[in-house]
Structures are given as structure tokens and as C-alpha cells.
Structure 1
Amino acid sequence: MDDMNTTPTSSRMHIAIFGRRNAGKSSIINAITNQKAALVSDVAGTTTDPVSKAMELLPIGPVVIIDTAGLDDIGPLGEMRIQRTYDVLNRTDLAVLVIDGEVGLTDFEENILRRIREKNIPVVGAVNKADKAVYTQEQLKEWEKKLKLELVEVSAATGQGIDELKMAIVRHAPYDDEKLTLIGDLISPGDLVVMVVPIDKAAPKGRLILPQQQVIRDVLDHDGMAVVVKEDRLRDALTGLSSKPRLVVTDSQVFQKVAADTPRDIPLTSFSILMARYKGDLIELAKGAKAVADLRPGDSVLIAEGCTHHRQSDDIGTVKIPRWLRQTVGGDLNFQWSSGLTMPEDLSRFKLIVHCGACMLNRREMLYRMEKARQQDVPMVNYGVLIAYVNGILPRALEPFPVARTMFQEDYA
């Protein structure tokens, strides 16, 4: 059962540990978390796939620490493990580069450091096994100068330097995302927000889906007031309220009905559009909606989701969106689906990528996916933006976001 009282993985800072096999990456994670979070063995290559551990790291708060396979792994399987390790960079907010104090600095550390910096990821260096070190302090200073990196001497076995490593992580952690908010910048204290939440067979039993939970929490965090209704009660709710809502937020799947029931002088948007702005680049995703007009029967479309889930008979990603696109295009399309933490490397064969709301991805991963599509000249749109587009109400759904809305004023005048 999902724990509704814990911070979602996608909202946690992702800290990934990189280094050679048997450098002590897993041991460092266990020392940082003060528990046996990662499997440890003297056998090189114990960690074969990225392993994540959610924890609290004060004063940062909720984080995910990711253990990775050694970058010097060998053989065909080793190459696959190395690639998975590099893939972790796409969702890494801060990297910890581990150097084996019994081996010293090698090309492996320099190569991964180069790739970390190519992605503009903050990085902290840790020289492990300081209690067994074969290097001198002069060599350590040379490594720091060569790598242009602060190196913290640690011993996962004795605990030496672990507190210093934690402090280095805190110093280098990126905090810009703290300025991001789902809805807080759109409301003022005391404002009322009406949220429309359908309860159908696709809704999880006994709870709300993650974006709905997060928007409600963000309204409360910014001293707003939230009213939650089903789509068939919206009119009654709006009539019974003593003051006009600052905003109506709806589930994308009932966009058209909610737009019809919401007076024109009340701003309207969707949970998915709020997530698009929070996790990615709303302007670019709105641009992607225009590519729908260029689709022709037979074109290939990728529908990408950031999680795997049990699909219902009328699933949005496999049934509803394909149906809406076929109706819009006036013919059949060649659909392909991807889910989880990977997308196809070659995107060039697709005319359009339709992405989910990314509630299970962190912002860095979503921005990476968008950049990957941009580099291959493939437009991307997300579920909420697409649904508003095919229903002819995208300009209205973008009204709370003037820059994105301006792009469509001429097209939809």
C-alpha cells in the first residue's frame, strides 16, 4: 500500500554515488544512512543495478540516495550495468564521486566526472578507505587540483569523515527547485481553489492520485483554501460558494465538461498542466501541441509514461489518447509505448511524443527527456496539454500562464 504520509520519490533530491567496483560506494551509503541500506561484499561488482534508498538528510530534508554499479565492470553484462549507471545521471541532482583510497585516482573517476559536469550536476568527491590509504597528503592535493574538486577523506568502515561528507553534500546541494511551486505563485493567502476530481474505475481505491494530493498540499502551504468536488457537483459547488474562486483545477479527462460548467471569468487549468510547469517546461510542451495539426495517418507517435501501473479497460495512455488522436488526424497512427525510467534512445522516427504528467519523475529527469527530444527535433506534449488541445480549450487552460497563452492567441482567435 502507498504511504500517503511520506514525501514522494519524485519530490526528493536525488543523490547518486559513482565510482569503481569495490570502492566502497555501498558502504558509504550505509554509513550516511546509518543503516544497512545497500548490500555490501568484498566481492567486486556486488551492486549490479542502481538501488535507491529514501531517507531524510538534514537540513536538506527528504532525499533519495542511489547506489550504482562500478564503472570498471567488465564483459557484456558489465557494459549494460555501466550504461545503467550512466542513465542514473539523467535523474541525479547531486553526485558523489568515490575514489578508492587503496587504488588511487584512475581514468574511471576522471571519465565519470567529465560526464557529470557535462550535465551541470553538482558533485562532491569522497576518498574512501582513508584508514587503509596508500596515498600521501601531497597526492591528495594533486588529485584535488587535477579534478578541480573538493575531496573529503572518509572511511565507511570506521566512520571517519562521514559527517564531513554529509556537510559537503549539504554545501553543494542544489536548492533552486525550492523556489518552484505547483500552484502557490498563482494564489494569495485566503484565496479559494476548487479542484475537480473524478472518481471512476481508474481512480485508486481509497485515495487520490499523487498530483491531486500535491496540489491540495501546496494550496494549504500557501494559506489558500481548497474545495474538492466530483465533476457532476461542480455547478452546485460554484453556486453555493460565498466568494468567487481564484482558480478551478480539473483532472484532464473531464476537461471539456468542467470548462462548460465553469463561468468564463473564473480561470481554469488542470492538474496535468500544473505538473507540466512544475516538472518540465510548459512553454515547450504547449509548443508540442501544435505538432498535432501536422500529424498524418500512418505517422509514428510515442506515448511515454514515467511509471508502470495496472491498466484499466479505458486507460488514458493506451486507449483514450490514441482514440482522441485518431479522431483528430482522421485516420490510424502507429503508436508505441514506453514506461518507467527509460525511453527509446532513437526518437527520430516519431512525429510526436505524448508524455504523462511526470508525477513519478523528478524535474531533472523530465527536463532531460525534453532535451533529448529537442535534440532529435521531435516535439513533445504532455497529457493535460494535449487533452485541452484536442478539446479546443487549450488557450483557456493556459490563461493562468500568460507567456504560454500568448503563443496561442493568434492561432485560436
Structure 2
Amino acid sequence: MSLTATPNGDRVQIAIFGRRNAGKSSVINAVTGQQLAIVSDVKGTTTDPVYKAMEILPIGPCMFIDTPGLDDEGELGEKRVEKAVQVLNRTDIAMLVLDISRLTPEELAQGRGIGEKEQQIQAMIEEKKLPYVIVLNQEDKLSQEEAEKRRQQIMAKNGTVPVCNVSTVRKMGLEKLKDALIMLAPDTDLKLHILGDLVEENDVVVLVVPVDSAAPKGRLIMPQQQVIRDILDNHAVSVVTQVPSLAMTLDMLGDKVKMVITDSQAFGEVSRIVSTQIPLTSFSILFARHKGNLRTLVEGVTALDRLRDGDRVLIAEGCTHRRQCDDIGTVKIPRWLKEYTGKELQIETCSGTGFPTDLSSYALIIHCGGCTLHEKEMKHRIFRAQQCQVPIVNYGIFIAYVKGILKRSVELFPAVWELLE
């Protein structure tokens, strides 16, 4: 991703659901004014969820997710539908698209006025308490009176859910649909900032950013970029340094330093340099709070002391990246696990969207900070681990624990710090 672009995980996620040939891709293209999705008369053109970044004012940066048809058939079709349903785990707003011209009198009269496939996904959307809009597409195939009559029938059966008639051919109803999306959009001002509640204007925050063989060429990694931006948004001052120059930096700044934030991999070295009078935490721990559940992840780390020979441990990352020779997920964490536990463990890894469906066989899950994941997706992964009664921890908390400095690294968060008393 470009350094000037909003991270995909921080965009408002708008997912679109419906049967094959309901016109889902056409609706996305019409709403955005761009050819973001492939349009075809052939059923099943969209075979996997397709993610398209876009900006819609006044919502701001959005991610439109075009999903496979809910009525896809066969064994492969069922897997495609399953992928479509999984999209709900990261959705902020859902759009349920129907071809208004194909609604039968029976469908209009029964239940909620729509077909069985739509009712199934509708129930899942409501179970997750997601805001959504029903889009009756292709109204140009009916008279204006008949199209409005059908809209009123659907509205009468769906309470306060917005129902919009649109025609992507004649560009009708699109502004009303945009207005509905704007009304349903989450208030991003209510979202917990990464460290906005921890700093005040003109506070100085020192960031320790190692530049080694695992660092990407010519840029900072996403969590570092986002923390710097959050510091600036809160009118504080960020000072970026590396481990060898940290002591000199702290001497230069004196008592102006409000806190130090380090890359988790340098926790051990940094903790020996930074005075205990200065709060110390890591980028990963900040993201555990920002996108996950800090308390749950801190509670999960104690499972390290209960691991036995032969236990399965999953090391999961939200992104896919080119592995380096000393990669943290596949090399360093397995090494630290072996050194700390002394056990012969079965270690498995996954990355990107490939998070296992069944977690019950794992004794522990060690997850990255989730900087590229949407907050809902990260929290859903934590929730699934809890459902299976599998302890889960993130990289920063794991590293602080095995280095013996976890209590110090969470002292900024009193409610969590008390767990370690």
C-alpha cells in the first residue's frame, strides 16, 4: 500500500450480498462512479470476495466488498457462499441487493417479503447487529408505480431498515442509496485512538524503530506509521530513534519524555536502557488495545507456563509479506517459545485471511498486532478462540512476558496492570 493511502483495515467496510445476477457488481460501480467490479450476464462472475478501496464523502475512506452469489451451486459454490458469509466478520455496513423485477408475488407476500437465501443472510446480519440497507435493483424493468409498490411492500415487512429502489442502467435512486449509507456509517470519532487518550498536547513520545534485515526497504512498517500519525493528530511530538542511539536521545530530551514505545523485538534491550520512571510499551501492545482486547490477550499469555510436549501452537499474522531470514513469526517466536518453555511443540503458522476454521486442537494462539486487519475481524478471531477455550495472545505481550517485563509494559493501562499484581 502507498504511504499516502489509508490502511485497508481502517476503512469503513461496506459489503454487498445477494443472489447471482442480482446486480451487485453493477450497484458498486454505480455508487462509486467507477468500474471497480466486473459486470457480466454470466451467473457467478464474482467467485471470491473482491475488495475495492474507495473514498465516499462525507463517509471518507471505504472498502467495498463484492461477494459471490448466495445461490451459488455445487460443492465449489457452497465454499464460495461460505466465503461470502465470512465477510460479515469484518463488515461495518451491509447492502442486501435484490433484482426487484424478479421478486415473485409469493416472495413479496411471505415472511419479510424476500426469498429464502436473502432471509438467511439477513438473519446473520441482524444477529451481528450490523446496520444494513435493502437495495431493490433494476427498477427500470418495471413501471414506476409497480416498483414503488414493491418497495413499500418490502418496507412494511422490514421495520426501520432503509429500502432503496435503484436502476444502474438509468442511474436512478443512487443518491438516495448514498444517503442511506451515510446515515448508517459508524462514527469514527467514537473509535478509540491508538494512544490519543495517553498523551496531551506537546508531550514527547520516543519511538524505537530497529532497522535490520527484517525491516522493509525504504519505509516504516504500518504500525509505526500509524502511531506517528496518531501522535501528530493529538498535537504531541514524536521522536524516532534506533536502539544504539536511544540512550543519547533520552539524555538529550531529559524529563520531557512522556513515554517510550518500542518495536517488540527490541523489548529486552530497550527495557535495560529506559529508566523505570518512564512508561514503556510496544507498538504491538498498543494495537492489542486498539483493535483487539488487551485484557483477554494478557490473560492468555499465562498459558505459556502450562504448555506440554506435543502441544499445537498456532502463530497467526493478519497480513502476507515476504519472509526474511530472521522473520518474527516463523523464526524468532518459535525460537523464543523453545527457549522459554523447554518443550517440544508442534508449531503451525497462517497469514492473511487464512485463519483456521477449527481452533479447538490448539493449546495456544500467538497473533500479530493485526495492523492490517479490520477491528471487527481481529475481535472476531479473539472471540472464536474464546469460544473454543483456546488462550490467545499477541506478539508484543508474548515477547514482553518471555523477557520478564510484561508488567512494566502494561503499566499505562491500570485495569490490565492489576491482573499481574
TM class by smaller structure? over 0.9
Residue 85 of structure 1 aligns to a residue whose secondary structure is: helix
Q: Which position in structure 1 is the counterpart of 2:418?
A: 406
Residue 260 of structure 2 aligns to a residue whose secondary structure is: strand
- Aligned 8 A contact 1:297 1:329 in 2: no
Shift of 1:177: 6.4
Aligned mates of 2:148, 2:178 — CA distance in 1: 21
Is residue 2:135 matched to residue 1:123? no
Residue 62 of structure 1 aligns to a residue whose secondary structure is: strand
Count of residues paired in the alignment:
408
Show the 5 A alignment for 1:88-99.
Answer: 88-99=87-98
- Aligned 8 A contact 1:91 1:365 in 2: yes
Q: Which amino acid aligns with 2:267?
A: F
- Aligned 8 A contact 1:306 1:361 in 2: yes
**Aligned pair in 2 of structure 1 residues 292, 177: CA closer, same or farther (>3 Å)?**
farther
Is residue 2:42 matched to residue 1:31? no
- Aligned 8 A contact 2:307 2:343 in 1: no
- Aligned 8 A contact 1:110 1:147 in 2: no
Shift of 1:244: 2.7
Shift of 1:119: 1.4
- Structure 1 runs (4+) greater than 3 angstroms displaced: 133-139
Aligned mates of 1:21, 1:27 — CA distance in 2: 12
Is residue 2:140 matched to residue 1:141? no
Q: Which amino acid aligns with 2:374?
A: N
1:204 maps to which of 202, 216, 224 = 216
Residue 127 of structure 1 aligns to a residue whose secondary structure is: strand
Shift of 1:144: 1.9
Q: Which amino acid aligns with 2:67?
A: T
Aligned mates of 2:240, 2:61 — CA distance in 1: 28
Greater mean deviation of Cα atoms: 21-30 or 130-139: 130-139
Is residue 2:248 matched to residue 1:251? no
Q: Which amino acid aligns with 1:82?
A: V
Q: Which position in structure 1 is the counterpart of 2:327?
A: 315
Is residue 2:3 matched to residue 1:4? yes
What are the ranges of 5 or more consecutive residues in structure 2 without an aligned counterpart?
Answer: 104-113
Shift of 1:344: 1.0
Aligned mates of 1:355, 1:384 — CA distance in 2: 9
Residue 16 of structure 2 aligns to a residue whose secondary structure is: strand
Q: Which position in structure 1 is the counterpart of 2:117?
A: 108
Is residue 2:340 matched to residue 1:328? yes
Q: Which position in structure 1 is the counterpart of 2:279?
A: 267
Shift of 1:307: 1.1
Q: Which position in structure 2 is the counterpart of 1:19?
A: 18
Q: Note the aligned Cα RMSD (angstroms).
A: 1.2
Aligned mates of 2:252, 2:14 — CA distance in 1: 48
Aligned mates of 1:18, 1:386 — CA distance in 2: 38
- Aligned 8 A contact 2:14 2:63 in 1: yes
TM-score with structure 2 length normalisation?
Answer: 0.95
Residue 136 of structure 2 aligns to a residue whose secondary structure is: strand
Alignment deviations for residues 73-116 of structure 1 (CA, whole Å, 9 cap, x no partner):
11111111111101111111110111111112211111111011
Aligned mates of 2:173, 2:147 — CA distance in 1: 17
Q: Which position in structure 2 is the counterpart of 1:226?
A: 238
Shift of 1:226: 0.5
Alignment deviations for residues 28-60 of structure 1 (CA, whole Å, 9 cap, x no partner):
000011011100011111111111110111111
Q: Which position in structure 1 is the counterpart of 2:108?
A: none
Shift of 1:160: 0.5
- Aligned 8 A contact 1:24 1:128 in 2: yes
- Aligned 8 A contact 1:199 1:230 in 2: yes
- Aligned 8 A contact 1:47 1:69 in 2: yes
Aligned mates of 2:205, 2:215 — CA distance in 1: 21
Q: Which amino acid aligns with 1:167?
A: D
Q: Which amino acid aligns with 1:347?
A: L
Greater mean deviation of Cα atoms: 153-162 or 99-108: 99-108
Q: Which position in structure 1 is the counterpart of 2:370?
A: 358
- Aligned 8 A contact 1:347 1:376 in 2: yes
Q: Which position in structure 2 is the counterpart of 1:167?
A: 179
Residue 48 of structure 2 aligns to a residue whose secondary structure is: coil
Aligned mates of 1:401, 1:242 — CA distance in 2: 24
- Aligned 8 A contact 1:14 1:63 in 2: yes
Q: Which position in structure 2 is the counterpart of 1:56?
A: 55
Shift of 1:237: 0.3
Residue 246 of structure 1 aligns to a residue whose secondary structure is: strand
Aligned mates of 2:119, 2:154 — CA distance in 1: 10
Aligned mates of 1:331, 1:372 — CA distance in 2: 26
Greater mean deviation of Cα atoms: 177-186 or 281-290: 177-186
Shift of 1:242: 4.7
TM-score with structure 1 length normalisation?
Answer: 0.97
What are the ranges of 5 or more consecutive residues in structure 1 without an aligned counterpart?
Answer: none
- Aligned 8 A contact 2:100 2:150 in 1: no
1:377 maps to which of 389, 413, 416 = 389
Aligned mates of 1:301, 1:331 — CA distance in 2: 11
Greater mean deviation of Cα atoms: 171-180 or 308-317: 171-180
Aligned mates of 1:146, 1:375 — CA distance in 2: 34
Aligned mates of 2:277, 2:401 — CA distance in 1: 20
Residue 143 of structure 1 aligns to a residue whose secondary structure is: helix
Aligned mates of 2:140, 2:182 — CA distance in 1: 24
Q: Which position in structure 2 is the counterpart of 1:390?
A: 402
Q: Which amino acid aligns with 2:225?
A: Q
Residue 393 of structure 2 aligns to a residue whose secondary structure is: strand
Alignment deviations for residues 326-383 of structure 1 (CA, whole Å, 9 cap, x no partner):
1111121011111111311111110100001101101000011011111110110000
Q: Which amino acid aligns with 1:75?
A: G
Q: Which amino acid aligns with 2:120?
A: N
- Aligned 8 A contact 2:259 2:280 in 1: yes
